[in-house]
Amino acid sequence: MTYYVCKCFFTNNIFLKKYNMHVTYYDDEQFKRDFLQLLNKHGCDTEEKVQEACDEILCEVSRRRRLGEESLRRKEMIAAQYTPRHPSIYHLKDEYLSPEFLDLVQFCKTNTSSSQEDIIGKIKVCKADRVYTFPIFTEEFCRLFVEEMSHFEDCDCPKGRPNTMNKYGVLLNELGFDENFFTPLREHYISAITSILYPDWGGASLDSHKAFVVKYKLGEDTDLNYHYDNAEITLNVSLGKTFTGGELYFGDMFEPQKVTNKNTNFSEISHVPTVALLHRGQHRHGAWPISSGERYNLIIWMRSSAVRNVCCPMCHNEPDLVPTVGFGDGFTKQTETVDVCAV
Ligand SMILES: [Fe+2]
Ligand SMILES: [Zn+2]
């Protein structure tokens, strides 16, 4: 299967950390027309500062254009140079998964016509709409996995970063985790659950993903701005180590025409190690700053080409496909589709 990115990847959703804003950039003229007023309000109020923001955006766009090829090159270099600390964890085994999770998956597989209500007793329903948690990994697996991430961070290999909002983290496909870990985890375990919980968001037709680890630490990234994900369904696992603060918060679903309401009532969810949290990608969320320690989270953005081929979750139009390498952003030229934008 060939996967694609949507052309909007090179223009939309560019995050300016200094001003806490996501922007769209086609050219200087459009950018100033659409964002100058808002930028001024956020403290970007001199010609030099605006120019600096434009330069930063152009730099990000050029990084995005080179991303596919560079990621492939990094993956090859890592495969040739990196010696894993715990090679065994690159292959998914049931012993890494919590018994409760294995039970849940088994139940979902043997009761495929179950409704959400039928599995509610087996998972925790959060205050935020359609957000669920359940234990997924064992403590021992989380410990080994975090050790592997730290070991990789400390090595000299080239490192890509998960997205514009997280500077510290690891792209797990580059490290070689997709083939024997995350693809089987999605296909043989998580899909059974999402088929029941999110049939309307492609939960039964997930066919690609982007898996990465984000790290929060005082002096590095400490929090995560309010946003929605480039995913139909997101799985977020707290891996440790020990930390205080850093609660996740959920607001409303993203709606293209709706102006962000700063007074949204957020539902806070504290996230404990070994536990997975599932939510819809378009359900906007963020993470409050940690106040001490180090926090590692595994994020899997799961995609359904049947859903996104109709409506790109980032520009909310029919996607304009651009070839790339690997899973890209999960778009395909297949014709079987589910129209969630119409919903
Ligand atoms: Fe997110
Ligand atoms: Zn798009």
CA of 29 to the centre of ligand 1 (A): 30
Among the bound ligands, name the one nearest to the CA of residue 6: 2
Among the bound ligands, name the one nearest to the CA of residue 281: 1
Ligand 2 is an ion; its neighbours by CB within 5 Å are 6, 8, 312, 314-315
Q: Are 227 and 286 in contact (CB under 8 A)?
A: yes
CA of 272 to the centre of ligand 1 (A): 17
CA of 233 to the centre of ligand 1 (A): 10
What's the pTM? 0.91
CA of 110 to the centre of ligand 1 (A): 31
Looking at residue 338, its pLDDT comes to 59
CA of 311 to the centre of ligand 2 (A): 8
Nearest Cα to Cα of residue 295 among 213, 180, 174 = 213
Among the bound ligands, name the one nearest to the CA of residue 10: 2
- Does the domain spanning 4-323 belong to CATH 2.60.120.620? yes
Looking at residue 262, its pLDDT comes to 59
Looking at residue 259, its pLDDT comes to 62
Q: Are 2 and 13 in contact (CB under 8 A)?
A: no
Q: 67-71: which pairs have CB atoms within 8 A and are 24 or more residues apart?
A: 67/160, 67/324, 68/5, 68/324, 68/325, 68/326, 68/328, 69/325, 70/160, 71/160, 71/171, 71/173, 71/174, 71/325, 71/326
Cα gap 170→264, rounded to integer Å? 31
CA of 52 to the centre of ligand 1 (A): 27
Cα 163 to the center of its chain, rounded Å:
9
CA of 312 to the centre of ligand 2 (A): 4
Tokens of 340: 């969630």
Q: Are 137 and 96 in contact (CB under 8 A)?
A: yes
The total number of residues written for the chain in this structure: 343
Measured from the Cβ of residue 120, the count of other Cβ atoms closer than 10 Å reads 12
Looking at residue 342, its pLDDT comes to 58
Cα gap 151→216, rounded to integer Å? 16
Looking at residue 289, its pLDDT comes to 86
CA of 51 to the centre of ligand 2 (A): 26
Among the bound ligands, name the one nearest to the CA of residue 310: 2
Domain ranges of the chain: 4-323
Among the bound ligands, name the one nearest to the CA of residue 301: 1
Among the bound ligands, name the one nearest to the CA of residue 312: 2
CA of 48 to the centre of ligand 1 (A): 32
Among the bound ligands, name the one nearest to the CA of residue 279: 1
pLDDT tens digits in sequence order for the chain, 343 residues long: 889 999 999 999 898 988 988 899 999 899 999 999 999 999 999 999 999 999 999 999 999 999 888 999 999 999 999 999 999 999 999 999 999 999 999 999 998 787 878 888 889 998 899 999 999 999 999 999 999 999 999 999 998 888 767 777 899 999 999 999 999 999 999 999 999 999 999 999 999 999 999 988 877 777 788 899 999 999 999 998 887 888 899 999 988 776 665 557 899 998 889 999 999 999 999 988 888 888 899 999 999 999 999 999 999 999 999 998 888 899 999 765 556 665 5
Looking at residue 340, its pLDDT comes to 64
CA of 224 to the centre of ligand 1 (A): 8
Looking at residue 142, its pLDDT comes to 97
